[in-house]
Each structure stands twice: as C-alpha cells, then as structure tokens.
Structure 1
C-alpha cells in the first residue's frame, strides 16, 4: 500500500503541472524503448507433491543477490486514432549457493528435518529465472492539449522456473542428495490504465497501472503493476528517459501431482532510450 500511495501522490503532482503545459505534441505512430532495470527482487518459491506441505524458499535464503540490473525492450503502435498496441519483454536470471542448515521439501527433493545430524555439510545450488512478456490493447478515453488517458486490456505471460541441487560435502568427498526443478508458465489477463502528461515541448510524464486477481483452470494468479516514466526529447525522433517500476506477481499452478507457487516482487529505477517515428 505504501507504494500505491507514493505513486498516486506523484501522479497527482504531475497532473497539476500538466494543466499549464504547452500544446500536446503530435502522437507518433511507433515508439520503441530499450532500457536497463536496476531491480530489487524478492521471490519465494514452493513446490509440493500431493499430500506434502512443501517448503517456502526465499531467494535470499538460498544465497541469491537481491539486486541485479537487466535489460528490457518495449514497443507501442498507434494503429488508429483511438487505439494503441503496447508490448514489453524482460528477463531475470539468478543463481545462488548456500550451506543448508534447514529442512527442505521441494518436489521430490526432501532434506531431513534433522539435517544437523548428517556427517558433513549440505550445499544447495539453485537457479531462478523469470521471463515476462506483456501485451496490452488500449483505447483512448480522453485527450486535451496536454493530457491523454487510455484504458485497456492486456496479458502478462509469465514463465517462472527454479532448479535446486543438493550435495553432501564431507571429508573432501561429495555425494548428491538429489535435484529437483519446478516451473510455471501462465497467461495472466489484466486491466490496464495509461496516462500521459505533456509538460513542455520536450518533457513528457507517463504512467501505467495494471491489476488482476483471477482463478481459472489450474491457475491462481494475482498481479499489481505500477510504472512511472519521464521522457526528455533530444530531437523529434530520439530521447532519453528514466522511471520507476513496481511489479508484484503471485502465480500458483495446481497440477495432478504437483503444486508449484511463485511469488515475485520486482521493483526499482529504470533508464532507457526512446525512438519515435
């Protein structure tokens, strides 16, 4: 809720500035952005066989860094006076290693509750990946000399994966205790709201708000996405920008023999270059 409050206050301030801004610039047909996202990640993963409870495993507990910079790409096509199509692609990969002193029940991988009694150290090596593909269809609700507001529907296709290998290390001898992997690929439809404020001839503030809470087939999904960006036009067709993103995913797949759950929060500043034509 704190993130919502901060973002809404920022948007309100931008709206006030926009009221005195200059005439809205001519809308380009195509807009492309290539950027870097200095994201902080907080993810928890679990995988439980039928009749098992499973263990909630946090990335930081597994020895992963909680911050990383990743590249992303987005495009927008204004294909009609009131209609636009917008998409975004981003990826996140992380690896971690930790000496385990806790019980782990992850799919078929089951480390004993009395792990301290093992003769040696248990090392967990894990890999986490998140591929995000977003496409939204927007319809113009309102436009003035300085403000534009669109609403639409979209789909976030999320692909989460986790691999864990457990190794017993004792007296310079290693023994595999097992390995397990879990992945979920799910299309999550969402309601989206776009806002643009042309503050000056060169400065534009834009925001995107997306939300869903949905249960369908074998999936339970929740999504909250907030994005705020400021563009500065160096020329008519090229500019630079900076912003902040907050994306919170919760996806659970209830299979016949396995229930996999991924709860992931990605947030942080972003910088990018933008081309319009």
Structure 2
C-alpha cells in the first residue's frame, strides 16, 4: 500500500500548490470563456504483470493459487498498446474512455505440480506433473467515466470522477489434460488422461464501478503535471472484487495541437467469483474462481487535441 499512498499524497499536494500559484488570476479566469475540447491519446505502456488463478489440489481437495508467470511461463514484462479519448465541455465537465489490451501466450513443456481446473462449463480437468501445456491469458480493460472540475483556474484544475472499469478475460489451456468425475465432496476422481491435445476455455466479464480524483497543474508554459486515482471495492452476492488505478505524469506541448505524455501507472484488480454446482439434488460450493491481476510501469503517448 506504500505506492498507492504516495500517489494520494501527490494529488493532495497538487491542490494547494495550484491554488496558490493561480489565486491572483481568479478574477480573470471567471471572466474567460472556455471552448469544448476533444483529446485523443495513442500510446504504449510497459507492463510488469502479476496474475494468478485458484486451482484445486487433486490429492486432498484443497485449493491454492497458481501463478501464470511462474508456472505457465507467461511474459512478466512487455510493451502493450493503449488508447484514450477525453471530451471536455461546458468548462467543468469531462467524459472519458480508454482501452488497454494485455494478450499473452506461452508453452511449458513440463508442468511442475498437479492441479485441477474445477467447474469449467460443468466439468473438472486434471493437469499432472510433467504435462506439456500451452496457456493463453487475454485481458482487455475498458474504462469509461465522467469527471467534474470542482476547482479550476487559468493553470490548474482539480475534480472528482465516477466511472466503470470492465475487464474482458479469456483463459485457454491446451495440452495433456485429463477429465474428472466429480465426487460427493470437494475432492474429485480423475481419469481418462489422454495424450492428444485438449482445449479448456474460460471466459468472463468483470465490471467494476469506481470513484476517483484527478488534478492537473501547468507549472510552465506548455508543460503540465497531472495525476488521477480511482478506487472501488464491492462484495455482492457471489462476487467480491477490488480495483485501484493510479497514474502520475507529465505532458509537454510541442506544437499547437500536439503533445507528448509520459506517466507512471499502477493498476491492481482482484476479482473473486464464488462457484457452486448442483450435485445429488443439492447445491455444493466448489471453490472461488479468482483472478488477481496487477501491472506497474511507465506509459508514453502522443496526444492530439482540438
């Protein structure tokens, strides 16, 4: 929590600093008339990723997390694209949308531990030590929202936002995979391990609403420091999730409509879905399907505003 706390402090510092620097221009600012602005950002970010999924121990029926980067050999560090659009109107109002794509695939010629992928499309699947496995994890993150500038001046703005982060998650496992027959408790009997490739797919969508705060301060003509933080946690019915998205950056205008942006982003989301299956006329809780995903790294973008 040290890094998120640091960014919250940075946001808090931007408010009094910007206010003091532009207080003498307050009267002129009230008299000014702002025009609507459309801003498009296209860039890349360097993601240092960490992701895991909860699986079942075939020996005792217990569950444990397994790491996509360590066990399945997915790339931990990579450059990925992102797109962002912002519409600023009526001086204080902002609409925004952005998208990030994180697609990864890797082969492991020898899995190091036994585990069961439980309750995928009503079936259980066994992957044993030494099995060859091709793993794919694709995550698309769509963020939409609305922001309102509560405080603003000729060279600063501070506001609050509400929005929605939606994660579209696709997992795929291909290789030597056994079929399991569910038992009457949390353990499973697995048989029919085959040498021919079998594909196990799991797709789901995880929407998370959020609230946030943002700030921008022009400290020199054409140079601006900006930051935002967004957070939300929810526990409802069979879904439990949390989200933290923090960004701190600098923008430099190099001509009338074009700017360069450099930022540092911290993003962490943890989604747990409680899964149940019907068995012998009753309902049995199997396990919690969990995706814990985070990435940390710099971002670079070219921005066009008109």
Normalised-by-shorter TM-score class: 0.7 to 0.9
Task: Give the C-alpha shift of residue 137 in structure 1.
Answer: 0.7
Q: Deviation per CA, 1:71-103, whole angstroms, max 9, x where unpaired?
A: 100011113222111111111011122211211
Q: Structure 1 residues 219-228 or 3-12, which shifts more?
A: 3-12
Contact 2:138-2:170 at 8 Å conserved across structures: yes
Alignment equivalent of 1:105, drawn from 110, 116, 122: 116
The corresponding residue for 2:187 is none
Q: Are 1:46 and 2:57 counterparts?
A: no
The corresponding residue for 1:36 is 44
The corresponding residue for 1:225 is 245
The corresponding residue for 2:189 is none
Task: Give the C-alpha shift of residue 272 in structure 1.
Answer: 0.4
The corresponding residue for 1:275 is 304
Q: Are 1:63 and 2:92 counterparts?
A: no
- SS of the residue corresponding to residue 195 of structure 2 reads strand
Aligned-pair Cα RMSD in Å? 2.7
| Structure showing greater Rg | 2
The corresponding residue for 2:3 is 3
Measured at CA, do residues 159 and 148 of structure 1 come closer, stay the same or move farther in structure 2, by a change above 3 Å? same
Measured at CA, do residues 193 and 9 of structure 1 come closer, stay the same or move farther in structure 2, by a change above 3 Å? closer
Alignment equivalent of 1:201, drawn from 221, 229, 246: 221
Q: 1:204 & 1:177 partners in 2: Cα distance?
A: 54
Task: State how many pairs are aligned.
Answer: 264
Q: Are 1:156 and 2:165 counterparts?
A: yes
Task: Give the C-alpha shift of residue 10 in structure 1.
Answer: 4.7
Q: 2:195 & 2:7 partners in 1: Cα distance?
A: 50
Q: Are 1:85 and 2:98 counterparts?
A: no
Task: Give the C-alpha shift of residue 176 in structure 1.
Answer: 3.3
Measured at CA, do residues 190 and 8 of structure 1 come closer, stay the same or move farther in structure 2, by a change above 3 Å? closer
Contact 2:257-2:305 at 8 Å conserved across structures: yes
Q: 1:54 & 1:175 partners in 2: Cα distance?
A: 26
Q: 2:64 & 2:198 partners in 1: Cα distance?
A: 16
The corresponding residue for 1:118 is none
Q: 1:197 & 1:28 partners in 2: Cα distance?
A: 19
Contact 1:64-1:95 at 8 Å conserved across structures: yes
Task: Give the C-alpha shift of residue 54 in structure 1.
Answer: 4.2
Q: Deviation per CA, 1:19-44, whole angstroms, max 9, x where unpaired?
A: 54797896751111001011110011
Measured at CA, do residues 244 and 253 of structure 1 come closer, stay the same or move farther in structure 2, by a change above 3 Å? same
The corresponding residue for 1:72 is 82
- SS of the residue corresponding to residue 3 of structure 1 reads helix
Compute the TM-score of the two structures, normalised by the length of structure 2: 0.77
Q: 2:13 & 2:237 partners in 1: Cα distance?
A: 42
Structure 1 spans left out of the alignment, 5+ residues: 116-120, 169-173
Moved over 3 A (4+): 8-28, 51-55, 176-179, 255-259
The corresponding residue for 1:246 is 266
- SS of the residue corresponding to residue 3 of structure 2 reads helix
Measured at CA, do residues 28 and 40 of structure 1 come closer, stay the same or move farther in structure 2, by a change above 3 Å? farther
- SS of the residue corresponding to residue 4 of structure 1 reads helix
Task: Give the C-alpha shift of residue 8 in structure 1.
Answer: 4.2
Measured at CA, do residues 190 and 12 of structure 1 come closer, stay the same or move farther in structure 2, by a change above 3 Å? closer
Measured at CA, do residues 83 and 212 of structure 1 come closer, stay the same or move farther in structure 2, by a change above 3 Å? same
